[in-house]
């Protein structure tokens, strides 16, 4: 996989994610391998707030203020991060709110966006991007739902039924074929 440049001039990043993501230290290991200092912060309440549709709710903003103040606490001297990495697929939905709450000098890096760009690049290399683009983009001659349904397959580490509901909201597409997967370390 091609290495992407992280928007951090200081090479100091705060990573926020679910408890499981932070506990895995996957982002920390990957960033430290590139000589980037990392501070991790689990933000478990963001997922249910996003799933409730409270992306601009005062409760979500208050929770974000608490989490980010803890994540950036003591941001003087040796550790002063200039990037906030969103380490959960739900977090981009509250990106605008996080932008308002995060310190002004901090760049927000959406790992889902970076991952999607890398997947698109890999699909282009393999000559598969045109097929995927035609399935996801509306066209004058709209494809039938059954064609898209039979072509797209989704994998979820949480409830498949919850993903069907949320995926439809997030993607704006009918989500039918969802397979639950259990990720082992």
| Average pLDDT, integer, range 7-22 | 88
Confidence check: pLDDT of 118 > 80: no
Q: Give the chain's mean pLDDT.
A: 81
Residue 96 CA to its chain's centroid (Å): 13
Which of the pair, 151 or 110, is modelled with greater confidence? 110
* pLDDT recorded at residue 101: 95
Domains and CATH numbers, the chain: 12-113 (3.40.50.1860), 142-180 (no CATH)
Measured CA to CA, the distance from residue 99 to residue 96 in angstroms comes to 5
Which of the pair, 37 or 142, is modelled with greater confidence? 37
Measured CA to CA, the distance from residue 129 to residue 121 in angstroms comes to 8
Give the SS3 label for residue 92: helix
- Which token pair is 38? 């990392």
Across the chain, how many H-helices and E-strands are there?
A: 9, 6
Q: Tell me phi and psi for residue 85, to 5 degrees.
A: -95, 125
* pLDDT recorded at residue 123: 75
Confidence check: pLDDT of 116 > 90: no
Q: Report pTM.
A: 0.69
* pLDDT recorded at residue 148: 44
Q: Of 15-29, 130-144, 148-162, which has the strongest mean pLDDT? A: 15-29
């Amino acid at each position: 996989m091609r290495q992407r440049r992280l928007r951090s001039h200081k090479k100091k990043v705060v990573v926020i994610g679910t408890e499981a993501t932070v506990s895995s230290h996957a982002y920390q290991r990957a960033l430290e391998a590139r000589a980037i200092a990392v501070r991790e912060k689990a933000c478990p309440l963001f997922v249910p707030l996003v799933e409730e549709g409270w992306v601009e709710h005062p409760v979500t903003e208050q929770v974000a203020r608490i989490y980010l103040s803890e994540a950036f606490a003591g941001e003087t001297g040796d550790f002063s991060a200039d990037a906030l990495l969103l380490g959960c697929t739900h977090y981009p939905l509250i990106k605008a709110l996080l932008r308002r709450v995060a310190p002004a000098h901090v760049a927000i890096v959406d790992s889902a966006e970076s991952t999607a760009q890398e997947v698109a690049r890999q699909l282009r290399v393999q000559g598969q991007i045109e097929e995927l683009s035609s399935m996801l983009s509306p066209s004058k001659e709209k494809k039938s739902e059954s064609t898209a349904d039979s072509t797209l397959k989704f994998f979820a580490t949480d409830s498949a039924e919850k993903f069907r509901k949320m995926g439809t909201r997030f993607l704006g597409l009918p989500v039918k074929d969802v397979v639950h997967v259990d990720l082992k370390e």
